[in-house]
Amino acid sequence: MPKLLKGNFAVKILVVFLLIVGIGVIVVLPKLETYLEIKSIEQTNLKTIESSVLLEVPFICQAPLQTEENWKHHEESCEEAAILQTYLYVNNKTMTKEKANEEILKMEDWQIEHFGSHRDIYADEVKNLIKGYYNLKENDIEIIYDATLEDIRNRISSGYPVIVPIMGNILKNPYYPYPGYHMLVAIGYTKERIITNDNGTKRGANFSYDNQTFYDAMTAAGGDVVIIKTKTTNP
């Protein structure tokens, strides 16, 4: 009789042990499944960032009519052209050269009224121009201060063109008439290069620069980039 009781006790201990193990498996499996899912997402994101991406952003030269007279007037219109290209892409629109010229002139007039002059502007004023001209809210526009190339790739891979200030003398684009402070739109990338719509030349559609040269030119111009994150409403 004592042996039988001892045997029953052992069986009970075994049953309790199996129940505990079973519960542990039930608890651990969802955690393991979640972990594997997270790692899978991380790997997918990593592959997306490493692959080549190109957004089909309509190209607008900063002197849209591309005449000598038009170039003289629009020597300082790179910011407006960069903004306009981004606006068109975000809103899935296109624009004729004549209409683009009118829009850039309107943006210049807006700056004269609100900034006191039409001049070279940097990220914060670019954001204010976009907000004011297109009636956007604060959170509709993002500034990344001291941006890296990885920041630019991340935004492009998420479907956003990036407005980037650069120093033309560092980029050494052979088609620049005045290689100083400039602004363009980053629209894609490969492993070695950043692809742009460089509105500083009529040949600027899908114009690419090697990573280091682009980064050096960007940081020399302040390094702060601007992204329009939502659809806009033209006044």
Residue 95 has pLDDT above 90, yes or no: yes
What radius of gyration, in Å, describes the C-alpha atoms of the chain?
28
User: Locate tokens 């409403």: which residue?
Assistant: 233
Which of 16 and 106 is assigned the larger pLDDT? 106
Q: How many domains does the chain have?
A: 1
118, 224 contact by CB (below 8 A): no
Quote the tokens at residue 73: 């007037």
Does the residue 132 lie in any domain?
yes
Residue 148 lies in a domain: yes
| Residues in CB range of 125: below 8 A, 6 or more apart | 115
The CATH number of the domain holding residue 217 is 3.90.70.10
Q: In 10 A of CB 96, how many CB atoms?
A: 9
Q: Is residue 167 part of a domain?
A: yes
**Contacts (Cβ under 8 Å, ≥6 apart) of 119:** 76, 111
* Residue 53 falls inside a structural domain: no
165 DSSP β-pair partners? 183
Spell out the SS3 assignment of 154-207: HHHHCCCCEEEEEEHHHHCCCCCCCCCEEEEEEEEECCCEEEEECCCCCCCCCE
pLDDT at 3: 42
Residue 27, in any domain of the structure: no
The answer to whether position 5 is within a domain reads no
Domain assignment present for 48: no
- Bridge pairing between strands 207-210 and 162-167: unpaired
Residue 32 scores a pLDDT above 50: no
3-class SS at 228?
Answer: strand
CA torsion angle 45 50 170 168 (round to 10): -60
pLDDT of residue 37: 42
- Per residue in 34-45, pLDDT (tens digit) is 334 434 433 434
For residue 78, give its domain range.
58-228
- Residue 43 falls within a domain, yes or no? no
Phi, psi of 216 (to 5 degrees): -65, -45
Task: Kindly state the average pLDDT of the residues 131-141.
Answer: 94
**pLDDT tens profile 60-80:** 999 999 999 999 999 889 999
Name the DSSP class of 32: H
